[in-house]
Amino acid sequence: MTTIVPASTSQALSAALAAEGVGSLTVPTYDCFPDGETLAAVPAFDDDAAVIVGSTATNDAHIELLQLQDAVREAGATDITTVVPYLGYARQDTAFRAGQPVSVRAAARAISLETDRVVLVEPHEPAVADFFTVPTAAVDAAERLADPLSGLDDPLFLAPDEGAIALATTTRDAYGAGDVDFFEKERDYDTGEIELTPSDAHVADRDIVVVDDIIATGGTMSGAIEVLSAREAGRIYAVCVHPVLAEAALTKLSAAGVERVIGTDTLERAVSDVSVAPAVAAQLR
Ligand code: R5P
């Protein structure tokens, strides 16, 4: 048998994986000392195999995941799989300026130390998997993103930048109808300002589904929604794999006129209406 070890960030997804038959849940403890240090621990267990599930959207979550790996090894597990549904720092996949780290490489090397394999979900760029020093697979979650959508009027599936075209296309294919298009995006890394250049696609009175891998600050998505609203689009849906939703992102999207925000349970948010559990479970079988 396999023991599923949930990090505090991935409790619902861990339960969904248990329901998919991946293994049985153990109940870790998650403590924090007055100086801010975390201490995650696991109860004793008899299984040799463990699946640790932990998204790393914060620095504390990174440390907690490493602690759970160490604790599980200490408890005697000889076969450890680490599932990282949302891998933080994935967008820092290169040194953009002299003197900067490749942050995701540092994180990947640390995660690789006490595990036999890693499973990621949509890690921003597929090449991120190469930074791990153990066998690493990336799960495609896009096919489920269309599940909550129905009754769209002449839909257009729009990628807010070229990098999201494949996601938008898979989502359209899963929905079964509609066109695909994309915007050109330029980001000024000094100011954080985003400039979106709309395509020539006809959007007036059409329902638009904007599909991206991550909604973080909401800057990209709300910029796209503003352009679409100005061109008198119908209902506008903001769909993503990873609903980071930092700071006032949700409010930004609402103010821009979004009809609904849809994300997956790689991060546990109010909008996490799609579960990646079936896709992750299929990878684990
Ligand atoms: C960028 O390449 C990503 O695909 C997302 O578009 C971006 O990370 C979203 O970030 P934000 O919500 O802060 O604009």
Q: What is the pLDDT of residues 216-238, one digit of tens each?
A: 999 999 999 999 999 999 999 99
Structural domains in the chain?
2-140+276-284 (3.40.50.2020), 143-265 (3.40.50.2020)
Are the C-beta atoms of residues 253 and 229 closer than 8 Å to each other?
A: no
Ligand 1 centroid to residue 268 C-alpha, Å: 18
Q: What is the DSSP letter of 248?
A: T
Q: Which of 217, 56, 169, 176 is nearest to 121 (CA)?
A: 56
185 is catalytic: yes
pLDDT-derived band of residue 116, with 50, 70 and 90 as boundaries?
A: very high
Q: Residue 57: what pLDDT?
A: 97
C-alpha dist (Å) from residue 175 to 198, 205, 233: 23, 19, 19
pLDDT at 186: 80
Q: Which residue from 246, 223, 277, 247 is spatially nearest to 238, judged by alpha carbons?
A: 223
Question: What pLDDT is attached to residue 218?
Answer: 96
Q: How far apart are CA 20 and CA 139, in angstroms?
A: 16
Residue ID of nearest Cα to ligand 1 atom 2: 163
- Average pLDDT on 239-261 reads 97
Phi and psi for 181 in degrees, rounded to 5? -150, 175
Helix (H) or strand (E) holding 67: helix 59-74
Structure confidence at residue 43 (pLDDT): 94
For 55-112, the pLDDT digits (tens) are 999 999 999 999 999 999 999 999 999 999 999 999 999 999 999 999 999 999 999 9
Q: Does the pLDDT of residue 148 top 90, yes or no? A: yes
Share the mean pLDDT of the chain: 95
Q: What would the pLDDT profile of 119-131 be if each residue is shown by its tens digit? A: 999 998 999 999 9
- Across the beta sheet with 24-25, the strand order is 24-25, 2-6, 49-53, 79-84, 117-121, 136-139
Judged against a pLDDT cut of 90, whether residue 134 lies above it is answered with: yes
Query: Which atom number of ligand 1 is nearest to the Cα of residue 220?
Result: 14
**Which residues lie across from 34 on neighbouring strands?**
none
Distances in whole angstroms, Cα of residue 44 to Cα of each of 51, 78, 109, 154: 15, 14, 27, 55
Catalytic residue among 62, 124, 144, 185: 185
**Residue 101 has what pLDDT?**
96
Structure confidence at residue 190 (pLDDT):
73
Mean pLDDT of the 133-156 span: 96
Rounded distance between C-alpha atoms, residue 53 and residue 212, angstroms: 23
Give the range among 20-24, 165-169, 183-187 with minimum mean pLDDT: 183-187
Read off the pLDDT band of 200 (50, 70, 90): confident
**pTM of the complete model:** 0.95
Q: Tokens for 271?
A: 């909008």
Q: How far is the CA of 98 from the centre of ligand 1 (A)?
A: 23
Pocket of ligand 1 (CB under 6 A): 91, 160-161, 163-164, 212-221
